[in-house]
Amino acid sequence: MPLSGTMVHLVSFGEDSSSVLLYNMHDNENSSAMAGRILSTNKGGRYYELMHNGKRNISFLFGEDSIHIDPNRIYTDTGIWQQLARNKITDTLAHQLISAWKDSLLNVLRIGERTLVIALHNNTNQNYGFKSYMPDGEYADEAEAVCKGCVRDKDDFYFVTEYPILDQLCVGQYHAVMQSNSRMTDDGSLSVYCGRLGIPYINVEAQHGHLFRQVNMLLFAYRQMKID
């Protein structure tokens, strides 16, 4: 899927007919990529993975400018403008270019047809975790509810968009956070997009290198959501 001359590959595993989408969009989050491949191959679901330069951001040329965009910040118009602002670019054509590429991507992913979207992300130790959404956390206003599990690592948690999903996942040992769809800052992320459209969404978030934990979190989500 070329973006202004830069080739971005969309790799897929699993059954194309599945109503469950697993999606890894950051090319440097390798534990989550491996977890998605394992689960879709062995337990079902359709898994997609963006591959480009091995880094978090996608980089491409626009005229004489180099633009760097986070592929998890382009699913709303506001998010695209924020990404362009980071590049100090205000060109409407640049916005249209990214928006058209995003629409093509969503068409391939068939987001609107899915009964469940499972995003897969990795984070770095101690920088971001479920405690970020606690009352004294950096993102406290973005959360509707927080469910504290018994696992020690705060970096490994679920982030969901609906109460029924939260209820299913809170009975396990893992932390879970529910996004406040009414107060969530529009940063262009897939969780905001799905929250607005009422598409059931789970982000299975785990620290880099926690492959075993992330696979187990996915297996638990599969059991609780009755994914065959």
Q: How many domains does the chain have?
A: 1
Residue 2 inside a domain? The answer is no
pLDDT of residue 25: 98
What are the E-state strand segments in the chain?
9-14, 20-24, 46-51, 58-62, 65-69, 116-123, 143-147, 157-160, 175-179, 201-207
Q: What's residue 174's pLDDT?
A: 97
Residue at 211 is within a domain: yes
CA 92 from chain center: how many Å? 26
| 56-82: average pLDDT | 97
Closest CA to 62 of 29, 97, 99: 97
Structural domain harbouring 40? 9-224
- pTM, two decimals, is 0.96
The answer as to whether 91 is a domain residue is yes
- pLDDT reading at 152 higher than 90: no
Query: What CATH number corresponds to the domain at position 186?
Result: 3.40.630
Q: What pLDDT sits at residue 107?
A: 96
Evaluate whether residue 1 is within a structural domain. no
Any domain includes 4: no
